[in-house]
Amino acid sequence: MNPFEFVIAILVIVFTFRIISHRMGIRTGMDRRWANQQLQAGDPRETDRLRSDVQELKERIKVLERITVEKENSLAKEIESLRDR
């Protein structure tokens, strides 16, 4: 085996494992650094919008938890009050 064939064999092996790891979803160090840079470079307006969405969802969850914990009679009243909104 001459040196050229040896280099080609190494490249084929490296690329094969890289493709397999990519398809399996395995993150390498370079992938993690790129993902962290993308997270840090986010738009502040988008971040604020997402925070407000999360807050609204938390409020909805609190209401749903309160509804499920209350007695059956108050459940009907709560549903009616939510319909009136």
CA distance 40 to 34: 10
pTM above 0.75, yes or no: no
pLDDT, tens digit, for every residue of 37-53? 666 666 778 778 888 99
- Residue of higher predicted confidence among 38 and 12: 12
Average pLDDT over every residue of 11-32: 78
Residue 1 has pLDDT above 80, yes or no: no
Calculate what percentage of the chain has a pLDDT beyond 90. 26
pLDDT, tens digit, for every residue of 52-70? 999 999 999 998 887 777 6
Pick the closest to residue 31 from 42, 41, 21, 40 (CA basis): 21
